[in-house]
Chains A and B, each alone.
Chain A
């Protein structure tokens, strides 16, 4: 897993892993080149909270791993 920094911006380079999860991420509105802000991580190994297009979504590490991300800032 790529090491993700909290309170940082990432660019979505592509989708990987489970097709079903990738499809759902696309339907949620995430697309290639999307700017994704990793806001925080829920305590005790809980999900990440990410923001894109002014929406906040909580998703587990496994789901986040379906996105190829590149740090932008």
Chain B
């Protein structure tokens, strides 16, 4: 590879779903997700061409934009990169506009607009294969002549044409000088000009193949957007998605569970049963095992959402739900962020950038953390397994479905309240391009799901590790040699600190150990499970019990007076707490960044956690008053 002639970054622009990310991936060798949903990219990414290419260029993938005049925060990302350039990157005067050949007349509008701003535009023409299926072709020379741009045909599926594009950009970028784009002529109506150019460049007669794909999509829409059938199917798809998280995952979870507890026991013996063996098996392996068990569920959720995205259905689902959502101050575009919130609030909040109205975005971001994210799954799965110990798998599945629906209802009610309080400064709008339906690419979906699941483990792993070490040390020292487990824990560092905060947790019906678990969950919710695994292994487990699961330990855990800690009432109380509480540092960080407001994040943090605490206390105390335990 030759050294780069310029360090300037070449921005890749294009309408949503035009194939920018696919092209960016070919150039950089990255595996960023490319899916059939307009608005999948909500931030810009800078990369360098892959070593395999002859020249080195620096490129930026940007969120899809129809225009350089931004309409939503995600379009503002592109605007700011090009016009305000507050990034550390030196943006080149040379930019690439990715144009979908099947949408030539529409996508040339952006080419014209970018030229009007003063950019040197290169056109990367994608989806030519789809056009060819229709016996159509674009006259590339004519397109180049009429637009005044270099034009490169790109095969998005096989990577054809990418080398030539890099060569061309490398050459052009070598001579690029620094410049400031102009905002003056952006409002000009470029549509008719674009239409004219497109007509002159698309010469051959269509065989009607493209129209056939369009009509096929409309036939599918006839059913999928049908007033009765469409809504029923929407409900069925969503139910199917969330129930599959259980019935599909159970065998894998069982296998992982027995493997993890087997490993803990085995390592304890192998490592010589001393302090170190205790630390590794009871501290590290037990805490990781408690969380790893839930990875299959998280993976299945990612696969499900991926399949819906890639088939083209997700954009329809967003349209189907626009009206109901608008009644509580949300927008059809809130659907994908909310749905993603069931996997993780962090990317979900970023996905809300496609919402144009500030108020609708405010509300969407506020309610996203109520959704049952994957970090809550380990917690619910543990608490439900406790509640339904020994009964059929379907029962916890049903209750979990209720929790999922409950989180939606809580989100809906909160949104409706916020809708009444907040003022609107811009009218709400909903315009969403619906891609053609297509068979999802399973390999791509699986790879995306794998990389996201890996990302989840990578994010949660270090936090679990660090806290596990602290909690194990905190509960074992200073009196590690003490043979009476109760005395050992009571006098431990964590035990002493825990007793100080116990009065706060007593009204929730739990002791200091659960309190420590709840506090540790503020680092990441799933840490609750690993913390309990360590604390209860030490306090209620003997050496013979190392391999018994956390649930068994919970069943016998008691207050000093002998009363059980985990009863149906306290466990339901804990579930309620987790449904309302915002216990994730990363979420708060992203909320500040996305809303550019610390106040917003503080409101959210305080409101959700105060609500969680009081709702749990009211529930538990009311049950006690009514004689339930």
Interface of A toward B, CB cutoff 8 Å:
18, 20-21, 23-32, 39-40, 42-47, 49, 51, 53-60, 62-63
Contacts of B559 in A (CB 8 A): none
Please, which residue of chain A has its CB at the minimum distance from the CB of B192?
A: A31
Contact B319–A28 (Cβ < 8 Å): no
Please, which residue of chain A has its CB at the minimum distance from the CB of B210?
A: A54
Interface of B toward A, CB cutoff 8 Å:
66-67, 69, 71, 102-103, 105-107, 109-110, 187, 189, 191-192, 194-195, 210-211, 214, 217-218, 221-222, 225-228, 230-231, 315-316, 318-320, 322-324, 332, 427, 429-434, 436
Q: Given contacts A40-B221, A42-B323, A51-B214, is CB(A31)–CB(B429) below 8 Å?
A: no
Give CA–CA (A10, B228) in the complex, Å: 27
Contact B429–A21 (Cβ < 8 Å): yes
- Point out the residue from A23, A39, A58 that lies within 8 Å of B187, measured CB to CB: A23
Contacts of A57 in B (CB 8 A): 431-434
Contact B434–A56 (Cβ < 8 Å): yes
Contact B218–A39 (Cβ < 8 Å): yes
Contacts of B427 in A (CB 8 A): 18, 62
Give CA–CA (A55, B107) in the complex, Å: 11
Contacts of B103 in A (CB 8 A): 29, 53-55
Give CA–CA (A9, B436) in the complex, Å: 20
Q: How far is the CB of A32 from chain B (nearest CB, A)?
A: 8
Q: How far is the CB of A48 from chain B (nearest CB, A)?
A: 9
Contact A31–B191 (Cβ < 8 Å): yes
Contact A29–B109 (Cβ < 8 Å): yes
Give CA–CA (A43, B321) in the complex, Å: 9
Give CA–CA (A54, B434) in the complex, Å: 11
Q: Given contacts A29-B106, A42-B319, is CB(A47)–CB(B189) below 8 Å?
A: no
Listed A/B pairs (8) with beta-carbon separation below 8 Å: A23-B69, A29-B105, A40-B222, A43-B226, A44-B227, A54-B102, A57-B431, A62-B429
Give CA–CA (A43, B102) in the complex, Å: 29
Listed from nearest, the 5 A-B pairs whose CB atoms lie closest are: A29-B106, A43-B227, A31-B191, A27-B67, A58-B319
Contacts of B214 in A (CB 8 A): 51, 54, 56
- Point out the residue from B105, B211, B227, B332 that lies within 8 Å of A58, measured CB to CB: B332
Please, which residue of chain B has its CB at the minimum distance from the CB of A54?
A: B214
Give CA–CA (A62, B319) in the complex, Å: 15
Tell me what chain A mostly uses at the interface: helix, strand, loop, or mixed: mixed
Give CA–CA (A27, B69) in the complex, Å: 9
Please, which residue of chain B has its CB at the minimum distance from the CB of A32?
A: B192
Contacts of B431 in A (CB 8 A): 24-25, 28, 57-60, 63
- Point out the residue from B66, B105, B324, B429 that lies within 8 Å of A44, measured CB to CB: B324
Contact A29–B191 (Cβ < 8 Å): yes
Contact A42–B225 (Cβ < 8 Å): yes
Give CA–CA (A28, B427) in the complex, Å: 19
Q: How far is the CB of A67 from chain B (nearest CB, A)?
A: 12
Give CA–CA (A26, B221) in the complex, Å: 25
Please, which residue of chain B has its CB at the minimum distance from the CB of A57?
A: B433
Q: How far is the CB of A8 from chain B (nearest CB, A)?
A: 13
Please, which residue of chain A has its CB at the minimum distance from the CB of B17?
A: A55
Q: Given contacts A29-B106, A43-B226, A49-B221, is CB(A56)–CB(B433) below 8 Å?
A: yes
Contact A28–B106 (Cβ < 8 Å): yes
Contact B189–A31 (Cβ < 8 Å): yes
Q: Given contacts A21-B429, A24-B67, A57-B431, is CB(A49)–CB(B109) below 8 Å?
A: no
Contact B323–A55 (Cβ < 8 Å): no
Give CA–CA (A60, B187) in the complex, Å: 23
Give CA–CA (A57, B66) in the complex, Å: 13
Please, which residue of chain B has its CB at the minimum distance from the CB of A21?
A: B429
Q: Given contacts A43-B226, A51-B214, A60-B322, is CB(A27)–CB(B109) below 8 Å?
A: yes
Q: How far is the CB of B493 from chain A (nearest CB, A)?
A: 58
Contact A60–B106 (Cβ < 8 Å): no
Give CA–CA (A25, B429) in the complex, Å: 12
Q: How far is the CB of A25 from chain B (nearest CB, A)?
A: 8
Contacts of A20 in B (CB 8 A): 71
Contacts of B210 in A (CB 8 A): 54
Contacts of B67 in A (CB 8 A): 23-24, 27
Please, which residue of chain B has its CB at the minimum distance from the CB of A28?
A: B66
Give CA–CA (A57, B435) in the complex, Å: 9
Please, which residue of chain B has its CB at the minimum distance from the CB of A30?
A: B191
Give CA–CA (A46, B228) in the complex, Å: 13
Please, which residue of chain B has its CB at the minimum distance from the CB of A19?
A: B187
- Point out the residue from A29, A40, A56, A63 that lies within 8 Å of B430, measured CB to CB: A63
Contact B322–A24 (Cβ < 8 Å): no
Contact B323–A45 (Cβ < 8 Å): yes
Contacts of A30 in B (CB 8 A): 191
Give CA–CA (A18, B69) in the complex, Å: 15
Give CA–CA (A53, B211) in the complex, Å: 10
Contacts of A21 in B (CB 8 A): 429
- Point out the residue from A40, A47, A55 that lies within 8 Å of B322, measured CB to CB: A47
Q: How far is the CB of A15 from chain B (nearest CB, A)?
A: 10
Give CA–CA (A18, B187) in the complex, Å: 15
Q: How far is the CB of A62 from chain B (nearest CB, A)?
A: 7
Q: How far is the CB of B525 from chain A (nearest CB, A)?
A: 35
Give CA–CA (A11, B324) in the complex, Å: 30
Besides A29-B106, A58-B315, 10 other CB < 8 A contacts?
A: A23-B67, A24-B67, A27-B67, A27-B109, A28-B66, A29-B109, A44-B324, A54-B103, A57-B433, A58-B318
Contacts of A29 in B (CB 8 A): 103, 105-107, 109, 191, 194
Give CA–CA (A27, B109) in the complex, Å: 7
